[in-house]
Amino acid sequence: MDKFTKISSVAAPLPITNIDTDMIIPQNFLRTIERTGLGKHAFSNIRYNDDGSEQKNFILNQPAYRRAQILIAGENFGCGSSREHAPWALTDFGLRCIIAPSFADIFYGNSFKNGLLPIKLPQDIIDSLIKDAERGANAVFTVDLENLEITRPDGEVIGFEIDPFRQHCLVNGLDDIGLTMERGEKISAFEKEQKIQQPWLYK
């Protein structure tokens, strides 16, 4: 999993409430277990016309936001089914951080395990950040996970809170497998001792 320490990017404003996982990645694209290749289908139902051409009014199709790494959204982001493909699609598209007033619990947890940083902030602050983001390419935000700070385009610094364990995992690029491998020496020592004490388990 890619480490997340600090990013600087424009932020795409998408102030829609209850963006569910089917909007993020429609169910007809769930046939893969690969984490790559889903970005082109992210927000497919509102991103493309029926003929496959781009919806010109959709925010992520607009030139200023095509390379946005930050998305500022409405409350209850990621609700709906618990598909892990949702954070896969967002990260494969290029997004690394979602800022919203609230998130669905399962999506919130899945995001940390897949290198995506979800940040919860009060609605009044979200409203201010959306106004900043609407300035497009002239508005660059910096998200600093190590110091738990967001720097607005005008230089104002806003603090945010993240569970310290989840912060540690993202900063060090540790998913569940990575966390297990961190304890590799202890696991090997345990197995060595167990082979002596309970050899029948290894026959």
| 6-172 topology per CATH | Aconitase; domain 4 (3.20.19)
Tokens of 46: 């509102």
- Rg, the chain, Cα only: 20
Tens of pLDDT, residues 10-28: 999 999 999 999 999 998 8
The confidence band for 181, taking pLDDT boundaries of 50, 70 and 90, is: low
pLDDT at 177: 63
pLDDT more than 90, % of the chain? 74
Sheet containing strand 140-144, strands side by side: 117-120, 97-100, 70-73, 6-14, 140-144, 149-151, 157-159
